[in-house]
């Protein structure tokens, strides 16, 4: 048990932006620090580590899955949960993130399935990139990730971030920490307390078979 009273929880945190000092990279670092203070063990990554060429089944068949997607799988499998800070590109998720998800999904066991996820975003707009998070929920939930219902979107992000990479508003910071803490509670309970675990079955076809059913 952590000295702050929390059972061990391992969380992968990364921003879905290739730019090192993007607003979403800064938000991901803020979230990673907050999660660590809340008692989680953090694996902080960058999108560059997971970037892959455009998905091409001919490439997959002839060369296998690229190193970036393999690294994403490895880091997911080492974690109990993951947090993504994702920018909004034309009211949707970044193409490079969707591409990495597509490349990592053929692995078996499938690395997103059953892992808890929380989504963050930051944007200069008044909606804070929230529309992109709604599009990101679709493939993650389809792959079995347990996407936390509450999302955190930082509107007018350049004005909300200080020069040293912190949130300018203490109230906004407290809201982020409260949301992250509630997310960790769910992850901790699922990992360590059997009474919080629920078996579920997703039925994807008219006739149950290993190809059409997924059970945990």
Q: How confident is the model at residue 197 (pLDDT cuts 50, 70, 90)?
A: low
Which candidate, 8, 47, 43, 3, places its Cα nearest to that of 25? 47
Quote the Cα angle for 159-161-166, to 5°: 160
How would DSSP label each residue in 116-183? EEEEEEE-SSTTTTHHHHHHHHHHHHHTT-EE-S--EEETTHHHHB-TTS-BS-HHHHHHHHHHHHHH
- Asked if pLDDT for residue 198 goes beyond 60, the answer is no
The pLDDT of 155-169, averaged and rounded, is 92
CA distances from 154 to 23, 39, 81, 167 (A): 9, 24, 21, 10
Q: Is residue 171 over pLDDT 60?
A: yes
Cα–Cα distance for residue pair 3/17, rounded to 1 Å = 34
pLDDT of residue 216 exceeding 50, the answer is no
Higher pLDDT, residue 72 or 190: 72
The residue ranking higher by pLDDT, 201 or 155, is 155
Q: Residue 38 has what pLDDT? A: 96
Q: What is the mean predicted confidence (pLDDT) over 42-61?
A: 95
Please give the average per-residue pLDDT across 188-211, as a whole number.
64
44, β-bridge pairs: 13
**pTM, full prediction:** 0.87
The predicted structure's pLDDT at residue 200: 52
């Amino acid at each position: 048990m952590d000295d702050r009273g929390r059972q061990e929880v391992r969380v992968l945190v990364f921003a879905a932006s290739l730019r090192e000092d993007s607003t979403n990279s800064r938000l991901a670092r803020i979230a990673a620090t907050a999660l660590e203070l809340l008692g989680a063990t953090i694996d902080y990554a960058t999108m560059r580590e997971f970037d892959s060429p455009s998905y091409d089944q001919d490439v997959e068949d002839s060369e296998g899955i690229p190193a970036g997607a393999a690294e994403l799988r490895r880091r997911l499998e080492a974690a109990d949960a993951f947090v993504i800070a994702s920018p909004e590109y034309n009211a949707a998720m970044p193409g490079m993130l969707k591409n990495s998800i597509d490349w990592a999904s053929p692995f078996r066991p499938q690395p997103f399935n059953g892992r808890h996820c929380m989504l963050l975003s930051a944007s200069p707009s008044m909606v804070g990139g929230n529309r992109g998070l709604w599009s990101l929920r679709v493939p993650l939930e389809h792959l079995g990730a347990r996407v936390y219902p509450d999302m955190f979107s930082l509107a007018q992000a350049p004005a909300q971030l200080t020069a040293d990479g912190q949130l300018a508003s203490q109230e906004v910071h407290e809201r982020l920490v409260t949301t992250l803490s509630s997310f960790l509670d769910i992850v901790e309970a699922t990992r360590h307390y059997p009474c919080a675990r629920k078996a579920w079955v997703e039925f994807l076809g008219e006739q149950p078979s290993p190809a059409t059913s997924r059970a945990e």
